[in-house]
Amino acid sequence: MLRIVDRYLARELLVSFLAATLILLLVTVGGTVADLLQKIARGRIPADLLLALIGLRIVDALTVLAPLAVFLGVQIAYGRLYRESEMAVFSASGLAMTGLLRPLMLLALPLAFVMALISFWLAPAAVRQSQTLLQEASRSLIVAGLEPGRFVELPNNDGVMYVDSMNADGTQFKKMFVASERTNTDDGTTRLNVITAAAGELFHDADGSGRYLGLNDGFRVEGVIGHDNYRLMRYQRNDIKLQDSESDNNADSVKRSAPTSVLMTSQDSVQRAELQWRLAAPISTLVLILLALPLAKSSPREPRYARLLIAMLAWMIYNSCVTLGRAWISQGRMSPLLGFWWVQIPTALIALLLLWRSQQLPKPRPPTARVLAGMR
């Protein structure tokens, strides 16, 4: 049976944790949207994939955001209780500092389980799904936003494209028309470029990275608007290289997308570092919650966010050490067996020491000379 005070504190912690998570997600989504919109404007990502990629990136970012959110949630919830002297009432009623651990565990243990689920399975699956969507977008004109029978503006104001019909997978088309204009900044003239094709296809080169439009049986018209020196060229085959699509197959994305079962049997230092990084998410949740409890203690006269700034500094040091350990393991400078325990165990011991010291009553001060004189 939960005590009334446990239910009250657990509710305060949950509300503060959800508020901190929402704020951090808004910041993350803002940066993610700005990055994706920039890539969409350059034609590297189809606009139709915006919402899907935002959701997948949020799932991947939760492994870092959730431990920080619960750390800030404890600071906000318990810090308010200290400032409003509610903790003094609890202490006078016989509730010690260690008694606050029970409602904390009601939040910490389920959250650590959820973080393990996200870190080991959901986040890698989200990265793999993101890679699959981008690969499909690079191999299909339909996914890239081109619709048969409709004029579509090309990215970066590169012109207008029209296709009469396409096959089901968007790799072959018929009756294509592309018109683009380029203005010369030196003399202010505008150059017109029109390309037509009776049929064509979208294909990749041998290594699968470069994309090309293979055009068959068409015309190309070039000239300066306002002049009569247009040039007409007829071709039987014309391959046009397209702008490289955004790829999520760099080294960091590949290791983050690897299934956990593969990482557990791998002897590669990079993949073993990734396994330790995934394990750090649920462990960091428990360690940071334990550290947040003594750091949240404050007096009513202290500045409102003084302890929160100290807590953020402690989190930055902790997170920097974990990131540094990840780099050392990847480079082979540290044994994967050591993992991040050299950071997490000392942090937990420091948290326990701070908890023990916070329960100690202050020693009485010796009477000053003025007090002794008054007693005489």
Closest CA to 25 of 85, 77, 89, 68: 68
**Other Cβ atoms closer than 10 A to 106:** 18
- Mean pLDDT, rounded, for 287-316: 83
Residues linked to residue 163 through DSSP beta bridges, in sequence order: 176
* Residue 154: band (very low, low, confident or very high) from pLDDT cuts 50, 70, 90: low
Q: Is-contact 25 65, C-beta < 8 A?
A: yes
| The pLDDT of residue 112 | 93
176 and 202 in a single domain? The answer is yes
Which tens digit of pLDDT belongs to each residue from 16-56? 999 999 999 999 898 888 888 887 776 667 777 888 889 99
Residue 115 lies in a domain: yes
CB atoms within 10 A of CB 165: 12
Which range has the worst mean pLDDT, 143-152, 185-194, 198-207, 245-254? 245-254
Does residue 11 sit in the same domain as residue 131? yes
Q: What is the DSSP annotation of 114-152?
A: HHHHIIIIIHHHHHHHHHHHHHHHHT-TTTTT--TTS-E
Cα 5 to Cα 2: distance, rounded to the nearest angstrom = 8
Q: Tell me if 227 is assigned to some domain.
A: yes
Q: Note whether 128 and 29 are same-domain residues.
A: yes
Residue 262: CB atoms within 10 A of its CB come to 13
> What pLDDT is recorded for position 149?
82
**Same domain flag for 82 and 223:** no
Residues 138/208, Cβ–Cβ less than 8 Å: no
How far apart CA 67 and CA 111 sit, in angstroms, is: 9
* Range of weakest confidence among 159-173, 203-217, 284-298: 203-217
Look at 247 and 84; give whichever has higher pLDDT.
Answer: 84
Among 56-65, 127-136, 155-164, 349-358, the range scoring the smallest mean pLDDT is 155-164
Question: What's the rounded mean pLDDT across residues 98-108?
Answer: 81
Can you give the pLDDT at residue 322?
A: 92
Tell me the average pLDDT across 281-303.
85
* Residue 340 is assigned to a structural domain of this protein: yes
Segment among 55-69, 90-104, 356-370 with least mean pLDDT? 356-370
More confident residue, 169 or 270: 270
- pLDDT > 70? residue 133: yes
Do 165 and 102 have their domain in common? no
* DSSP-derived 3-state class of residue 12: helix
Q: Which of 241, 276, 292 is the last residue of a domain?
A: 241
Residue 200's nearest CA partner among 242, 234, 163, 169 is 163
Which residues constitute the domain of residue 179? Answer: 152-241
293 pLDDT higher than 80: yes
For helices 306-330 and 341-359, give the axis angle rounded to 10 degrees. Answer: 160
Residue 290, number of CB atoms within 10 A of its CB: 22
Q: Which of 209, 241, 273 is the last residue of a domain?
A: 241
Within-domain flag for 250: no
Q: Are residues 271 and 205 in the same domain?
A: no
Let me know whether 78 and 220 are in one domain: no
Residue after which a domain boundary falls, among 241, 271, 306: 241
pTM above 0.75, yes or no: no
Do 77 and 126 share a domain, yes or no?
yes
- Report the pLDDT averaged over residues 344-357: 89
CB contact at 8 A, 74 and 289: yes
Same domain, 124 and 8: yes
Closest by CA to 73, choosing from 28, 27, 15, 7, is 15
- The answer to the question of residue 248 being in a domain is no
- Note whether residue 335 is domain-resident: yes
Per-residue pLDDT tens over the stretch 251-274: 566 677 888 888 888 888 888 888
Number of domains in the chain: 2
**Within a domain: 372:** no
Which residue in 191, 258, 189, 190 sits closest to 221, CA to CA?
191
Alpha-carbon distance 135 to 313, whole Å?
A: 40
Task: Name the DSSP letter for residue 183.
Answer: E
- Interatomic CA distance for residues 90 and 78, integer angstroms: 12
Report how far apart the first and last C-alpha atoms of the chain are (Å, whole number).
57
If asked whether residues 187 and 323 sit together in one domain, one would say no
pLDDT exceeds cutoff 60 at 207: no
Pair of tokens at residue 179: 């018109």
| Lookup result for tokens 């701070």 | 354
